Amino acid sequence: AADSSSSSSSSSSSSKPSKLPTYILKPLKGSCGGGIQLVQNWGQVDEAMAEGKLAEKKNWLAKMRGYGSLMAQEYIAAPALLDGYKFDCRLYVVLRRLDPLLAYVLHEGMGRVCVEKYSAPAPENLANICSHLTNYALNKMSDKFVQGKEKKKTTEAGDNAQKQTKEAAVGGVELDPHANKRLISVVIQQLREQGYSSQLTEQTFWRRVDEMVAKTLLALQPRLKKAFSEALEEAKRPIPPPPHTIIYPTHVGANDDFKGGA
């Protein structure tokens, strides 16, 4: 744990990354980035807990989302960046059956890009949520946020022009590849153009995602079965025979050598 005395660190504008370990605190039932904080010492943890408890007393939504009960994760301080901006990938998993386990992964998704350039966590920038958190609900409030609007098709020819005006089409709709929400296939192509390993292809990306999803569901399977059965029993309904379907949006980020983490 970090020494609580580090809370007296200078709040200068230095861009040097802090050597303190950084943790991200999240409400147990939170969503949309609400109540999330980055901390580097125990004093900040105590403050975050106190703020959460106070929010629960004042706001029923904060109470419902468990702002006063926080979970901690080690923060990836050196993430993969897209043109200097932090991003993550929203994936869609359909859990078709729990026993035996059967799930499907959609091999397309949404890349979510921050609106502020990324700087390694330091005491002076921990509160810069639009640099550290990719949540749409937070970043859309910034005047720098670029909506994913339709774009007109270009008639320019040539490899260079094609690369500069590359657009992603879904269902015949042209999407802006520079919006703060863009297709994962576009993100992968942009990362390759940015100079990441030539081994970063859609095929290798989705193979690693499939492996990660399979391992995650296998780990969660016993608890999911128990929770599902208890919920149905509480509702006084008979457990329906399989199959039953659950759709999980899952977020994945990666460090700068593309070792992923959910």
Buried b / exposed e across 146-180, counting CB within 10 Å, b at 16+?
A: eebeebeeeeeeeeeeeeeeebbeeeeeebbbebb
- Quote the pLDDT of residue 227: 87
- Average pLDDT of span 176-201: 88
User: Dihedral through CA 77, CA 83, CA 86, CA 91, nearest 10?
Assistant: -120
- Quote the pLDDT of residue 196: 80
- Point out the least confidently predicted range of 49-58, 59-68, 161-170: 161-170
- Quote the pLDDT of residue 13: 36
Does pLDDT of 245 surpass 60?
Answer: no
How crowded is residue 35: how many other Cβ atoms within 10 Å of its Cβ? 23
- Average pLDDT of span 210-232: 90
- Quote the pLDDT of residue 231: 80
Does pLDDT of 152 surpass 70?
Answer: no
Q: What is the mean pLDDT of the chain?
A: 78
Q: Specify the pTM.
A: 0.71
- Quote the pLDDT of residue 185: 93
- Average pLDDT of span 77-95: 93
- Quote the pLDDT of residue 257: 62
Residue 124 and residue 13 in contact, taking contact as beta carbons nearer than 8 Å: yes
**Which pLDDT band holds residue 53 (cuts at 50, 70, 90)?**
confident
Does pLDDT of 218 surpass 50?
Answer: yes
User: Dihedral through CA 239, CA 241, CA 243, CA 249, nearest 10?
Assistant: 0
- Quote the pLDDT of residue 15: 44
Long-range CB contacts for residues 78-82, cutoff 8 Å, separation at least 24: 78/120, 78/255, 78/256, 79/118, 79/253, 79/254, 79/255, 79/256, 80/191, 80/196, 80/253, 80/254, 80/255, 80/256, 80/258, 81/118, 81/256, 82/111, 82/113, 82/187, 82/190, 82/191, 82/194
pLDDT digits (tens, 9 = 90+) for 98-130: 888 999 999 999 999 999 999 999 999 999 999
Better pLDDT: 84 or 243: 84
